[in-house]
Structure 1
Amino acid sequence: MFRIGGDLEVGRLGFGAMHLATEPGAVRENALAVARRAVELGITLIDTAYLYGGGGNEELLADALFPYPEELLITTKIGISRSSSSGEWRYDGRPDVLRGQVDQALRRLRVDRIELLQLHRVDPEVPLAEQVGTLRDLRTEGKIGRIGLSEVTVDELAQARAVVDIASVQNRYNLLDREHEPVLAVCEEAGIAFLPWRTVAWGDAGARAEVAAIASESDATPTQVALAWLLAHSPVILPIPGTSRIDHLTENLAAQELRLNREQRELLDGLA
């Protein structure tokens, strides 16, 4: 278990809802079933975003899971908007946009407060202090419980923390891609939850002979080895692997039971 922000307790292996389809029909019914099964299997942290279907993913989770179990945290992300003329997505950290997206997320998720709200990307055209300052004000107003950031550098994290407490960071990170190791180090020192996305390098880890060998000797899959390594690598890491299949969901969750020995961890540590 991990306490986000020091008080919000969740299981360390979460679920990323990005791959859940929102269009009508059989694919949506499957997505609803996967979301419900995730909670049945004990998932207490689900990650979504306005970007995922322009809010459709948030609505899907509400349709699947509302009223929510008391222990379930659904965290969403804002700060990216879509042009009404071109349909293109862009970073958008303007205060009025952030406020509007929070209000829309509250409505779609059917809640009065978002317990963990993350800035999806830092908008380079708006001062970072202004962006996180808006989120701080929304927290003061009671619409947000805790504030997180996504895809930030060490410097951006420091700038944000000078304005408001940061409870989580969601950066790309996995066994073979450790570009954000310095950010992880800051999070570990400060007790900030680190939610890696692209947790298994989109299957590339399984192509490495070292990973395949450890999977074979552990009676596990390469995906499970990659997730088990993340869980063992730092106590603040909360992986959020996503899938649209119940069998893959079950496989991912089983990684919590895999215990890598010291020799295996050292071998995997040296891959990147």
Structure 2
Amino acid sequence: MPAAAGDFLLGGDRRVSRLGFGAMRLALGGRVRHPEAGVAVLRRAVELGVNHIDTAGFYGFGDLQAHEMIRQALSPYPADLVIATKVGPLLEGGVVPTGQASAGQLRGLVEEDLRRLGRDCLDLVYLRVGGMGQPGGESIGERFAALAELRGEGLIRHLGVSNVDAIQLAEARSVAPVAAVQNHFHVNHRGDSDVLTRCEQEGIAYVPFFPLGGGRDPIDQAPIVRVATRYRASTAQVALAWLLARSPVTLAIPGTSSLDHLAENTAAAGLRLTADDLTALAG
């Protein structure tokens, strides 16, 4: 159960389980073919103790829209449920985002998320920067300031940044408090350790996207398989357990469109890796 992973005080006032749920695969890249199936997965996740769901307005294809599934499945929302969303990417008529919103366009995206999720205030909004390339190389201060203004109006509770480097994180923090960072990081993709260290120092939640590789980086390499075999666990469970062990500020948000995989992922919260396991996986 997610509670076995322990919890984290997000932004100093919202306590969430360190093992949550990512909604992307309910609408993109998963096996769900009907919204009702996604609704069932969401309801089961909350029944299992998940109280942190990560989504975005651009997670959707046709009738499969993450925001709408979340609202149908869970509204009226449990009092302890934290829904995080991301703004910044623009679909521009397609399925994959191809543009970035300007500072002046962010209000409309936030208001749309409020409407689609059926909320008066969004718990956590990330400014998602750039595409799928490496972070860095552009200023985010003006756009983050636009979100900070919406936070001041009570439309957003906490702010985060996604796909940023250490310089961009520092720039955002000079504008307004940052409660969470969502970057690419997992057991076989560890290049973001400097940002993770900064988050540890500042008590900022670090929420890796693609915690199981996202289909890009396999997690069935020999060291992971050996640890998984020893515990009679799956490689996905070991990868999630590694993230939770890597730092007390990491929050894992594995996504799935399968009830069986949901049960497997949440069970990873109870897997405790030893120091020897971590050394083996470091190699």
After superposition, the Cα gap between the structure-2 partners of 1:155 and 1:26, relative to the gap in structure 1 and judged at 3 Å, is closer
Shift in Å at residue 265 of structure 1?
Answer: 1.1
User: Hey, what's the Cα distance between the residues in 2 that align with 1:250 and 1:80?
Assistant: 31
State the Cα distance separating 1:92 from its structure 2 match.
Answer: 2.0
1:43 corresponds to 2:56? no
Alignment pair present for 1:91 and 2:90: no
| Partner of residue 20, structure 1 | 26
For 1:69 and 1:62, the matched residues in 2 are separated by 12
What is the TM-score with the length of structure 1 in the denominator?
Answer: 0.92
Q: Which amino acid aligns with 1:243?
A: T
Q: How does 1:205-224 map to 2 (within 5 A)?
A: 205-224=218-237
Q: State whether structure 2 residue 243 is matched by structure 1 residue 237.
A: no
* TM-score normalised by the chain length of structure 2: 0.89
CA shift, 1:88, in A, is 6.4
CA distance in 2 between partners of 1:117 and 1:206 (Å) = 29
Asked if 2 retains the 8 angstrom alpha-carbon contact of 1:152 and 1:171, the reply is yes
Aligned partner of residue 147 in structure 1, secondary structure: strand
- Structure 1 residues 125 and 137: CA distance shift in structure 2, 3 A: farther
Could you say what secondary structure the match of 2:161 adopts? Answer: strand
Query: Measured at CA, do residues 146 and 171 of structure 1 come closer, stay the same or move farther in structure 2, by a change above 3 Å?
Result: same
Mapping 1:151-230, distance limit 5 Å: 151-202=163-214, 205-230=218-243
User: What letter is aligned with 2:12?
Assistant: G
SS of the aligned residue for 1:112 comes to coil
| Contact 1:122 1:128 (8 Å CA) reproduced | no
* Alignment match of 1:110 (pick from 118, 123, 126): 118
CA distance in 1, matches of 2:96, 2:210: 23
- Contact 1:93–1:126 (CA<8 Å) still a contact in 2? no
1:131 to partner: Cα distance: 0.4
Which ranges of structure 1 fall in alignment gaps of 5 or more residues? none
Residue 152 (structure 2) pairs with residue 150 (structure 1) = no
CA contact (8 A) 1:78 1:118 kept: yes
In 1: Cα distance, 2:96 partner to 2:65 partner: 17
Q: Which one has more relative contact order, counting CA pairs under 8 Å at least 6 apart?
A: 2
Q: Is 2:9 aligned against 1:3?
A: yes
Could you give the per-residue CA deviations for residues 224-249 of structure 1, whole angstroms, max 9, x where no partner exists? 11100110010000011100001001
Structure 2 matches for 1:257-268, cutoff 5 A? 257-268=270-281
Which one is further off, 48-57 or 188-197? 48-57
| 1:31 to 2:38 alignment | yes
How far off its partner does 1:21 sit? 3.2
User: How much has 1:128 moved relative to structure 2?
Assistant: 1.5
% identity of equivalent residues: 43
* Residues 26/196 of structure 1: CA separation in 2 closer, same or farther (3 Å cut): closer
- Displacement of 1:207: 2.4
In 1: Cα distance, 2:255 partner to 2:95 partner? 25
Q: Note if contact 1:166-1:192 (Cα within 8 Å) is conserved in structure 2.
A: yes
Secondary structure at the aligned position of 2:185 is classed as coil
Q: Kindly tell me: are residues 87 and 260 of structure 1, through their superposed partners in 2, closer, same or farther at Cα, counting changes over 3 Å?
A: closer
- Ranges in structure 2 where 5+ consecutive residues have no aligned partner: 1-6
Q: Report the Cα offset of residue 127 of structure 1.
A: 4.5
What is the match of residue 79 of structure 1?
88
Number of aligned positions between the proteins = 267
User: How far does residue 153 in structure 1 lie from its aligned partner after superposition?
Assistant: 0.2
1:20 aligned counterpart, secondary structure: helix
Alignment partners' CA distance in 2, 1:93 and 1:202:
25
